[in-house]
């Protein structure tokens, strides 16, 4: 066994069916009694219902959470909370709602109970991305880590099939990069493989029947496992590219992850063969990159950045942004290959030629 460092994160996880009924008990367990319930506008009814059920434990609802956590929205929520004397936060929704809760907690240190309804995994991480004057910035701070996560399978049954697929692949991206992370350790590697297997098995069943409870349960478990990996070890090229592309060109989050993942893995695979081999084997493909590209095709997921709204003109700027800072990555970053990767993803071509170039040049496994 190689030497390693693993830091466990302090979060209580409740997983099951109908578990939303446990929210009130969790508020009381934390010794609190004035919760602000957060959601996006489409999930306002769900937030309102929970607030009604919480009765005197609820201080009200704020239903304006938005993608990428714009700070203007956080400021509006803070004003509402000040007027209502709020002492804790309850987020019901996907990564956008969790993001608002975390941004709020960063500024107030209020405890958070998160009830996730997508597979984004943000609830399991001390990471917060925020949008300020068009720029997306990311920070890591234990203040933003939720105290309690309540996973309720029932709430995921309404997640549309297409969003289930991209959200599920977004989760798989956390685990795939955890496999070759510079901080990889036996705990996160096992959890990553567990999460990847759960999602790879569940997503094809969910597109056939979005109400398949067993498949939904596996996918939600996978989301927790993959999110925990994201929260525990540093991410690399794939997450950097998605951050740049989705944040700077206003592309949707989980769809961008879905398109870029096979290409980012193809770039890194020559330098991370051992780490990615179990994923390739699990997917029954010669490489992890090919396996994920094939899975996306089978699930009818978007495969090109063009269909998400990115243009050829954006390629140079995206490449510059992607190589602008150094960060640990199995394969050194070289501008021409990153541009080729982004072009492949833009056009939706199968991943590979830029990876093959690396193999031909005999690049070794080093952390850039
Ligand atoms: P989202 O939260 O924006 O949800 C997408 C849409 O689906 C919203 O309209 C939402 O209301 C709706 N929705 C959610 N669950 C539903 C359900 N069960 N049934 C019907 N509709 C439902 O999307 P997301 O992909 O979950 O989150 C994306 C955001 O999360 C991005 O801002 C991203 O940066 C952030 N994120 C952060 C981390 C982190 O660790 N900080 C990790 C992953 C994602």
Q: Are residues 297 and 257 in the same domain?
A: yes
Average pLDDT over all residues of the chain = 94
Rama region for 31: left / alpha / beta (φ>0; ψ in -120 to 50; rest)? left
Per-residue pLDDT tens over the stretch 139-165 = 999 999 999 999 999 999 999 999 999
Residue whose CA is at the smallest distance from ligand 1 atom 38: 122
Considering the entire predicted model, what is its pTM?
A: 0.95
Q: What is the pLDDT of residue 363?
A: 46
Cα–Cα dist 225/199, whole Å: 10
pLDDT tier at 312, thresholds 50, 70, 90: very high
Strand positions, DSSP E, the chain: 12-16, 35-38, 58-62, 88-93, 112-116, 127-132, 135-140, 148-152
Q: What is the pLDDT of residue 148?
A: 98
Q: Is the CB of 159 under 6 A from ligand 1?
A: yes
The boundaries of the domain holding residue 106 are 12-156
**Which of 107, 133, 156 is the last residue in one of the domains?**
156
Residue 243, domain member (yes or no): yes
**Which of 110, 130, 156 is the last residue in one of the domains?**
156
Q: What is the pLDDT of residue 326?
A: 84
Residue whose CA is at the smallest distance from ligand 1 atom 16: 159
Q: Is the CB of 136 under 6 A from ligand 1?
A: no
Q: Could you give the number of structural domains in the chain?
A: 2
State the closest ligand 1 atom to the C-alpha of 128, by its place in the atom list counted from 1.
Answer: 41
DSSP single-letter state for residue 130 = E
Tell which one of 11, 67, 94 to mutate to probe ligand 1, the residue whose CB is within 8 A of the most ligand atoms.
Answer: 94
Contact 196, 279 (CB under 8 A): yes
Residue 176, domain member (yes or no): yes
Residue 279, domain member (yes or no): yes
Q: Are residues 245 and 295 in the same domain?
A: yes
Per-residue pLDDT tens over the stretch 178-224 = 999 999 999 999 999 999 999 999 999 999 999 999 999 999 999 99
Q: What is the pLDDT of residue 368?
A: 32
Residue 3, domain member (yes or no): no
pLDDT tier at 365, thresholds 50, 70, 90: very low
Q: What is the pLDDT of residue 358?
A: 55
**Which of 106, 140, 156 is the last residue in one of the domains?**
156
Q: Are residues 262 and 135 in the same domain?
A: no
Cα–Cα dist 102/291, whole Å: 34
Q: Are residues 288 and 152 in the same domain?
A: no
pLDDT tier at 136, thresholds 50, 70, 90: confident
Per-residue pLDDT tens over the stretch 317-342 = 999 999 998 889 999 999 999 999 99
Q: Are residues 146 and 63 in the same domain?
A: yes
Does 366 have pLDDT greater than 50?
no
Dihedral sign, CA of 255, 261, 262, 267?
A: positive
Report the 10 Å Cβ neighbour count for 37.
30
State the closest ligand 1 atom to the C-alpha of 166, by its place in the atom list counted from 1.
Answer: 25
Per-residue pLDDT tens over the stretch 211-263 = 999 999 999 999 999 999 999 999 999 999 999 899 888 899 999 999 999 99
Q: Which of 189, 198, 187 is nearest to 222 (CA)?
A: 198
Contact 351, 265 (CB under 8 A): yes
Q: What is the pLDDT of residue 325?
A: 84
């Amino acid at each position: 066994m190689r030497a390693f460092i693993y830091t466990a994160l302090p979060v209580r996880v409740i997983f099951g069916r109908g578990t939303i009924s446990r929210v009130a008990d969790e508020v009381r367990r934390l010794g609190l009694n004035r919760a602000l319930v957060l959601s996006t506008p489409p999930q306002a009814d769900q937030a309102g219902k929970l607030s009604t059920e919480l009765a005197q434990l609820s201080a009200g609802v704020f239903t304006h959470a938005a993608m990428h956590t714009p700070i203007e929205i956080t400021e509006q929520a803070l004003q509402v909370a000040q007027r209502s004397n709020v002492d804790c936060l309850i987020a019901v929704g996907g990564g956008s709602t969790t993001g608002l809760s975390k941004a709020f907690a960063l500024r107030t240190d209020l405890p958070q109970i998160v009830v996730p309804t997508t597979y984004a995994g943000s609830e399991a991480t001390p990471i917060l991305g925020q949008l300020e004057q068009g720029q997306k910035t990311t920070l890591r701070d234990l203040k933003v880590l939720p105290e309690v996560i309540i996973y309720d399978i029932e709430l995921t049954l309404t997640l549309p099939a297409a969003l289930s697929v991209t959200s599920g692949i977004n989760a798989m991206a956390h685990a795939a990069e955890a496999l070759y992370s510079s901080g990889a350790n036996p705990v996160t590697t096992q959890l990553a493989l567990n999460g990847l297997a759960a999602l790879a098995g569940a997503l094809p069943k969910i597109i056939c029947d979005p109400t398949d409870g067993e498949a939904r349960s596996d996918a939600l478990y996978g989301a927790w496992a993959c999110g925990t990996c994201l929260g525990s070890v540093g991410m690399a090229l794939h997450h950097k590219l998605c951050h740049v592309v989705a944040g700077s060109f206003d592309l949707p989050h989980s769809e961008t992850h879905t398109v870029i993942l096979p290409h980012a893995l193809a770039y890194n695979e020559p330098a991370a063969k051992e780490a990615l081999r179990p994923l390739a084997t699990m997917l029954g493909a010669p490489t992890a990159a090919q396996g994920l590209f094939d899975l996306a095709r089978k699930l009818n997921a978007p495969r090109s950045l063009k269909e998400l709204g990115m243009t050829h003109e954006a390629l140079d700027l995206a490449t510059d942004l992607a190589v602008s800072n150094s960060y640990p990555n199995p394969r050194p970053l070289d501008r021409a290959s990153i541009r080729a990767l982004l072009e492949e993803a833009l056009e939706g071509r199968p991943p590979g030629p830029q990876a093959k170039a690396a193999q031909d040049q005999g690049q070794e496994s080093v952390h850039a």
